[in-house]
Amino acid sequence: MSTGSNGARRIASLLRPRFDAAVCRSCQETIGRRNYASAAAEPTTTSSDPSSTSPVVQPAYTINAGVVLSRPPVITRDLEPFEKAFYLYQKRLNERQALPFTKYFYFKRGTPLDEDWKKKIQERQTPARDIGKYNAYAPDAWNDELLLGAKEAEPEYQVEMLVRDAESTANATSQDTSKKEEIPRPHPRVTEADKKGDQKSLNRLLSRTLYLLVQSKGGQWRFPQSQIATGETLRQAAERTLFESAGKNMNTWMVGYHPFGHFVRNIKPRANSKTGAENLGEKTFFLKSRIMAGQADLSANLHNLADFKWLSKEEISKFVHPQYYSQIKNMLADR
């Protein structure tokens, strides 16, 4: 092998990025491909002839900063039918095992308290009325499984029965019989905004992640974005974009300094009248952000926006262009 060939290989090995031995080859290739710029890309000029005085302007993309502003889930997700039936089965199994211990541990046989307990058990059939009429000592006590869709398996039904049972116990033991005791119900999982279909409200789809989507006056829906200014970092551009698009009446938190996704829109190359460079389209790099309080306000926006919505992942697919959604869908949480 020639000396010149060895020298070329040595230079290539020095220029090749170095990775830890624990990083697999696939990850090394991925890391090598995803070198995001943090400032606006300027058209580069090169000269094919060193003696030439007119440089050659290379084609370039317009670099944008985008913000994926989200409101995380507020409550736990809805249970699947199998999960509802399973939790109820575990509850009944626990009651069937704990019922004999509870009775004879706290109340001695033949005492007034024991007789009072027997009377209450006969009236209520079970110490937990949230699962309906169920007697753990009956001949068919083994048959404690529910059919799919039974109302006793619904958490809302169980909560209502528990509250009613607590109210009846409080009223039976209350010294003041002139006033009926009322126990506050938990807030419903379905809000007024859900019932009205108000997609501008943050008080909807409480078990899902919502994302801020804005609409231009031309009718295009997308995440807030704007072109990065010269000398501006990606995070600075994202913070400015969010402020100029959705106003100052929001308390937000920018999660990091680096993008977690990008969108590329290619167009037919056309020359810029000022620089002479060919514009190939735009590349938008998205930063993740969270809303802590407040609401979007487009009244004084600087990006020609007409409307906004708070949408889940599935709802976003109905508003944005299919090509746009195909490149952003993996950035969005399924829940």
User: In this structure, are residues 209 and 199 in contact, taking their beta carbons and an 8 Å threshold?
Assistant: no
User: In this structure, are residues 124 and 168 in contact, taking their beta carbons and an 8 Å threshold?
Assistant: no
Tell whether the model's pLDDT for residue 43 goes beyond 70: no
Tell whether the model's pLDDT for residue 50 goes beyond 90: no
Report H helices in 16-132. Answer: 25-33, 81-106, 112-124
Integer angstrom CA distances of residue 195 from 74, 190, 192, 212: 18, 7, 5, 20
Tell whether the model's pLDDT for residue 233 goes beyond 60: yes
* Fold of the domain built from segment(s) 48-75+191-331: Nucleoside Triphosphate Pyrophosphohydrolase (3.90.79)
Predicted pLDDT at 280 = 86
pTM recorded for the entire structure: 0.70
As a whole number of angstroms, the distance between CA 215 and CA 320 comes to 10
Mean pLDDT of 88-97: 74
Tell whether the model's pLDDT for residue 293 goes beyond 90: yes
Read off the pLDDT band of 146 (50, 70, 90). Answer: low
Where in the chain are the domains? 3-31, 48-75+191-331, 81-173
Element at 231 (helix H, strand E):
none
